[in-house]
Amino acid sequence: MQIEPKKAVYIDYTLTNEAGDVLDSSEGHSPLAYLHGFNNIIPGLEGALLGKKVGDELEVTVEPKDAYGDYSVELVAEVPRSAFQGVDKLEPGMQFHASAPDGGVQVVVIRDIDGDNVTVDGNHPLAGQRLNFKVKVMDVRDATEEELAHGHIHGEGGHQH
C-alpha cells in the first residue's frame, strides 16, 4: 500500500540540522504516526513521503519555507515584565501562550530579560532552518472513519482520547 491522502502512516525518523546535530528522533520509541494529507507533519516531509511504501527509506532535506517558515523579526517583541502576571520568576527559555495578531493563540519564548523589559520570540524554534530527515516507512494502512473525522491517528504512536 502506498502513502497517499487519508492513509495512516508510521515512520521511524531522525531529524538533524545543517551541522549534523540530532534535533529529534523516534529511535528507542514507537514510530511517528500521522494522517497523510491532514497537515500533521511539515509540508516538505509530507510531500517527499507521497507514493512511498512500507520498507522504503529516504533522506530528505526540507527548506525553511516547507518546514516552519523563515525566521521573522516581526515575531520578536519587547514587553513589560508586568505582562506576566502571576509568574514570580521569569527565565530565558520559558514558554507562554500569547494572543496572536489574528486573534488566535501562539507560543512565545522568553529570549532575554533586561530589568523590567522581557524580549519574547513567537517564531517556531526551528524557523529559518534547513532540516534533514532520515526516514523509514514502517507501516501504511487505511485510516479509520473516526481518524478522518478527527484529523489525526488514534492508538499507539498517535493521539489518545
Mean of pLDDT values over 115-140 = 96
CB 105 within 8 A of CB 31: no
Torsion 76-68-124-97 (CA) sign: positive
pLDDT at 161 over 50: no
Q: What is the pLDDT of residues 3-52, one digit of tens each?
A: 999 999 999 999 999 999 999 999 999 999 999 999 999 999 999 999 99
Question: DSSP letters along 69-109, please?
Answer: ----GGGEEEEEGGGSTT-S---TT-EEEEE-TTSSEEEEE
Q: Are 31 and 41 in contact (CB under 8 A)?
A: no
User: Cell numbers at residue 51, please?
Assistant: 507514493
> Based on the domain organization, do 64 and 137 belong to the same domain?
yes
d(CA 159, CA 136): 21
- Are residues 11 and 47 both part of a single domain? yes
Q: What is the pLDDT of residues 47-85, one digit of tens each?
A: 999 999 999 999 999 999 999 999 999 999 999 999 998
Half-sphere exposure of 63 (CA within 13 A, CB side): 1
**Are 48 and 84 found together in one domain?**
no
Q: Are residues 30 and 108 in the same domain?
A: no
In which residue are the cell numbers 532535506 written? 61
